[in-house]
Amino acid sequence: MKFKVLIADDERVIREGMAALIDWDKLGFEVCCKATNGIEALAMIEEHRPNLLLVDIQMPLLNGLQLIEKAREAQPDLLFIIISGHDEFDFARKAINLGVRDYLLKPVKETLLYDSINKIRNELLLKARQQSQYNFAMSQLQKNMTVLRDQFLQQLIIGQFVQEEVDEMLAFHELQHGFTHFCLLRIDRTTSGFSMTGEWDRHLLRFAMQNIFEEKLSECGNMICTADNQSNLFALLRIDRQDQWQNLSTVLMKVFRETLGIEIRLDKACFGEDWTLITDYYQEWVNEQIRPLNRLTERAVAYLELHFGDPELSFRRLCEALFVSSSYLSKIFKQDTGETFVDYLTKIRIQKALQLLANPALRMYEVANMTGYKSQHYFSAAFKRILGVTPSEYRARSSKSVLD
């Protein structure tokens, strides 16, 4: 590694003598330029960006101390050695205040200059190593920034930081300005048992969901997205498009039905500038998600799973089978599942239909009969209402995906 030195002195013999006095190359330096006055030296500093400046105190236009002051402004890491014919304390004191590394008197002795340059070379080599290590550390940090941000967000939502730590981490990840909204997306628990019949494994489904989620969130504004350990997707946003944000739930539900054939739930909140609220929202949403079903609802769901293929299945028949009043079961069932009996039964039938549609040997009317529909027409209408496509369109799209 070669370092560059600039020699500034108004006497030509001094300039040439300093350039020839020691073996600069052996010390790892090259004399890149020589200046006859302070103004010329300042221009050369701007152009050549030397590492070291050898400068005379007494020079025309701009003296040595003035040059050092201006040079430090232009290049703060530049080092200085003063070469002076004046052994005056005032000059030395000012030089020390300016951070000058050495103060040598003319005529300069070769050994003194050599020792001074050698010390500066070691200092520059140390700085270069430190800069190289810093650059490497920063490159590694940038490579892992996504992982670090994900870890921070996952720790943030479960409340692992005190406020001071949150402030530090937000500043580190440049998240403190503008991010004021939080949302959590999950597969609706009423369809959490949804079978994809081998079309999607768990990781592929998560990948597909996150791609859709991020694409739609980006239409609202700047965002970051990751997943918790339950594979729920959560995101922080800077909202630029309020209209898009307000319609986000509806848009996402439709897209997930049409592309993946699943029902999702989106919880949204504005936390403003109080980041601690994120943990509160998250815990509230998750606790709601894991709240156990009423025993009566569990029995009702089990009955529907067993008898969904019966075209005569009705809510009245369910109540009779469970020996419970229709008003009470209706209230408990809706409270636990968030669905009416008809909507829940329809979703079970459509889930089962998707499994059957994967078998190309089954006719469409057979799938309809096996899932409790009296006619193919009613089956097709219910299927399209839930997924946004007809059974035939879904089967054709699935076949194409497999071939692709």
Write out pLDDT tens, residues 129-144: 888 888 787 777 667 6
- Domain 147-290 falls in which CATH fold? Alpha-Beta Plaits (3.30.70)
The pLDDT confidence band at residue 319, using thresholds 50, 70 and 90, is very high
pLDDT more than 70, % of the chain: 88
Integer CA distances (angstroms), 379 to 253, 280, 349, 376, in order: 21, 42, 9, 5
Q: Are 354 and 321 in contact (CB under 8 A)?
A: no
**What's at 187, amino acid-wise?**
I
d(CA 157, CA 143): 24
Question: Residue 316: its pLDDT value, please?
Answer: 93
pLDDT above 60 (res 201): no
Enumerate the β-bridge partners of residue 56.
83
Question: Residue 311: its pLDDT value, please?
Answer: 92
Q: Are 18 and 10 in contact (CB under 8 A)?
A: no
The pLDDT confidence band at residue 366, using thresholds 50, 70 and 90, is very high
d(CA 60, CA 11): 11
Burial code (b: 16+ CB inside 10 Å, e: under 16) for 244-254 equals bbeebbeebbe
Range from 54-68, 196-210, 312-326 that averages highest in pLDDT: 312-326
pLDDT above 70 (res 398): no
Question: CATH assignment of 3-141, given 1.10.1200.10, 3.40.50.2300, 3.40.50.450, 3.40.50.800?
Answer: 3.40.50.2300
Domain boundaries, the chain: 3-141, 147-290, 295-403
Place of tokens 């600039």: 6
Range of lowest pLDDT (4-8, 53-57, 200-204): 200-204
Is the model's pTM score more than 0.75? no
Question: Residue 286: its pLDDT value, please?
Answer: 75
| Same CATH fold assignment for domains 147-290 and 295-403 | no
Cite the beta strand spans of 168-317 per DSSP E.
181-187, 223-227, 233-237, 264-270
Question: Residue 238: its pLDDT value, please?
Answer: 87
Question: Residue 202: its pLDDT value, please?
Answer: 64
Q: Are 22 and 114 in contact (CB under 8 A)?
A: yes
Tokens of 221: 């504004």
d(CA 384, CA 46): 71
CATH class as words, domain 295-403: mainly alpha
Mean pLDDT of 29-35: 90
Tokens of 201: 């494994």
Per the document, the length of the chain is 404
Using a 10 angstrom Cβ sphere, with 0-12 exposed, 13-18 middle and 19 or more buried, the burial of residue 42 is buried
More confident residue, 149 or 54: 54
Q: Are 68 and 56 in contact (CB under 8 A)?
A: no
